[in-house]
Amino acid sequence: MAEKFKVGLIQMKCSLDPGENFVKAEKKIKEAAERGAQIICLQELFRSQYFCREENADLFDLAEPIPGPSSEALGKLAKKLGVVIVGSLFERRTAGVYHNTAIVIDADGTLLGKYRKMHIPDDPLYYEKFYFTPGDLGFPNFDTKFGRIAVLVCWDQWYPEGARVASLGGASIIFYPTAIGWHPSEKSEHGASQLDAWRTIQRSHAIANGIFVAAVNRTGYEGTKESGLEFWGSSFVADPFGQIIAEASTNKEEILVVECDPRRMDETRRNWPFLRDRRIDAYSPILKRWLD
C-alpha cells in the first residue's frame, strides 16, 4: 500500500509582470514546503495573467520551450526543497505550434515529463483556440518520489473521459491547474450555480474513479471593468468519495496543505466497486462524436 502524502495547492493573484509572478510562486512553493507539502501544484499559466481573454498575436512572446528557463528554475527549486512541483506553462514547441502544458518535476529536480492540455475552449474571454494546439501526449501518469500522480488542465476538468483514463493509469490523485472565473455581467444571476457546477463535476470524478482530486485555481480580477474576469479561487481537494477535505476562499491568496491517504482509495473502491463493474465491452459508441 502506498504511503500517505501531503499536497500543497497554491492559489494566487497574478500581475502583468511574469518575473514578479514567478518570484511570488517560488516564495509560496517554499512556504508550502515549510508547512510539510510534498507535491506542490501551481495554478494554470501562473507566470502571467490569463492572456486568453483576448486574441493578440504579440502575446505569443510569453511562450517558452520545455525544457526552458521556467522548467529549469523550478527544477532547481524542487531539488533544493526536496519536493515535487507541478507547474503550468505556455509551451513554445516550434514556430506556430504552442501548447498549454503542465510539467511534473520530481523531488531530485528531474523533469519527469509533461502533459499537454487536451480540451481547448473557445468562449467569450476564453479564446484558447487562438493560442493552443490540442495536446498529443494522452493522459499520462507520473511516478514521483511521493506517489503516482496524473495532471489535467482546466477545461479538461469537465470531461469524465479524461479523468477515467488518467485514473486507469494507477494514479492516486489528479491535479487540475485551473484559471476559471465569472464574467462580471453574469455573476449576480449565474455565479453561484457556475461555481457549484465546477465543484460538482470534479467531485464526481473523484467518486466515479475512487481517486483524490485537487483543483488549483487562481484568484483576483484581471482585465478591464468592461471585459475582465473575476477568478473565483475556491481551490480544493476532494477525497475518493468526493468529500471536500480542504477548500480555499474565492477572493484571497491561499496555500492549502492537505494530507492524502491512499488507503482511503482502497476502502472506497472495495465498497463502491465502479471500476470492477465497468462494461468495457459495450463502450465503443463513446468514440463517436454523436450517435446519428
Q: Give the amino acid at 128.
A: E
Q: How buried is 97 (Cβ within 10 angstroms: 0-12 exposed, 13-18 middle, 19+ buried)?
A: exposed
| Candidate list 13, 41, 117, 222, residue with the active-site label | 117
* Residues 6 or more apart whose Cβ sits within 8 Å of residue 2: 147, 148, 172, 262
Q: How buried is 30 (Cβ within 10 angstroms: 0-12 exposed, 13-18 middle, 19+ buried)?
A: middle
Concatenating the DSSP letter of every residue in 191-213 gives HHHHHHHHHHHHHHHHHHHT-EE
* Residue the block writes with cell 499520462: 140
* Residue the block writes with cell 482502497: 266
Q: How buried is 52 (Cβ within 10 angstroms: 0-12 exposed, 13-18 middle, 19+ buried)?
A: buried
Question: Is 44 a residue of the active site?
Answer: yes
CA–CA separation, 220 and 218 (whole Å): 7
| Candidate list 154, 230, 247, 260, residue with the active-site label | 154
Question: Is 154 a residue of the active site?
Answer: yes
Question: Is 226 a residue of the active site?
Answer: no
CA–CA separation, 62 and 147 (whole Å): 32
Cell digits of residue 264: 482511503
CA–CA separation, 115 and 100 (whole Å): 9
**Residue closest to 221 by CA, chosen among 206, 210, 234, 233:** 233
| Candidate list 14, 44, 52, 260, residue with the active-site label | 44
Cell digits of residue 122: 473557445
Instruction: Report the catalytic residues.
Output: 44, 117, 154
